[in-house]
Amino acid sequence: MEKKKVLLGMSGGVDSSVSALLLKNQGYEVIGITLKLWDNLLNKGSCCNIESENDAKKVCDYLGIKHYTIKTSIEPFRKYVIDDFIENYKNNRTPNPCIECNKFLKFGLMAELSKGLDSEYIATGHYAKTEYSKKYGRTVLKKSSSKNKDQSYVLYCIKKELLEHILFPLESYESKDQIRKIAKDNNLIVANKPDSEDICFIPNGDYKIFLEENSDISKNPGNIVDSFGKILGIHEGLYRYTIGQRKGLGISYTEPLFVIGFNKEKNELIVGKQEELFKSEIIVNDINLIAIDDIVEPIKVKTKIRYSSKETSSTIYKLDDKTIKVVFDEPVRGATPGQSAVFYDEDIVVGGGKICQIL
């Protein structure tokens, strides 16, 4: 019986390396693919550098599976990830570049490559699940077993048509320690390799310096004001701040103050007390529904507004084909334009979109 082929995205880290081992042990014909989307020789803390490419190849050689490094034109990455990153900060939004990369590049490119290699599946080392749901009558995206490592939030943007062809080998593991133990027990060279934490195109991890050196954004001081317009201090440039930020404001007050908004026209940074961060309604656009095709009637879901935030009971309403209103049962803290709101039915991802307005 011919083995089923699976195209595995490999970053050179321990997660994707153990994924290769697990898939091979499950009887798949595994082909490792490292996507070189961006030339980044300086950022050794990133997943996108020559060291990581070499590690991926070494792991594949050790496991006896094929490996290819696919170098693409940098223009798609520049357009969909870097330019989007810059444009968001110009407009006082806080982007998540990994979501844009998953949406426009990684999964789309791998799906195209899999066709050329006659591969039935594509796979990554993300912590998430794909599974057929009787309730929804289709393959759905679900949370992984590891609630601390679950990455379904950054995967909501995958096209629903791809889900039945996607495997997540780490879906049932409860912790990263388990993955590292598997790597050590099987003598994988990346067993002790640190996790990649940085944004891949920002070598020193300082997004402010990146913006100043790679766009026309520059320091543009203006007033820090409270919600009544009272001037409390001076900011260094609106792009240097994000909703919910407390540290680095350079102002003293009788109680802690947080960034609660921006007035771009007046170049004002608006701060307020912690209770002013809590909001009950948001508007979301750039929608991707994956468990359903449309919102006909209001739907009760749990909504996550940041990767690290908890989900909150809410109701989603379709406003038009491009926008959804989310009404929370209880106010949520720090909803931020540019971040994604992802909707869950228990552990199933219903869909999500970008926060564009706070009500």
The set of catalytic residues is: 101, 200
Q: How many CB atoms lie within 10 A of CB 76?
A: 16
**Which residues have CB under 8 Å from 357's CB, separation 6+?**
282, 283, 337
Instruction: Provide φ and ψ at 329, rounded to 5°.
Output: -65, -35
Residue 289 parent element (H or E): strand 278-289
Under a CB-based contact definition with an 8 Å cutoff, are residues 100 and 80 in contact?
A: yes
* Cα–Cα distance for residue pair 210/213, rounded to 1 Å: 5
**Could you tell me the CA-to-CA distances from 97 to 3, 87, 92, 200, 289 in Å, in that order?**
35, 12, 15, 9, 20
Q: How far apart are the first and last CA of the chain?
A: 58
Instruction: Provide φ and ψ at 142, rounded to 5°.
Output: -130, 165
Residue 24 parent element (H or E): helix 14-25
| Total length of the chain | 359
| Residue with tokens 């913006």, as numbered in its chain | 211
Q: Cα angle at 103 between 49 and 309, to 5 degrees?
A: 90
Under a CB-based contact definition with an 8 Å cutoff, are residues 271 and 260 in contact?
A: yes
DSSP code of 104?
A: I
Under a CB-based contact definition with an 8 Å cutoff, are residues 225 and 268 in contact?
A: yes
3-state class (DSSP) for residue 225: strand
One-letter identity of residue 48: C
DSSP code of 194?
A: P
Structure tokens at 278: 């809590």
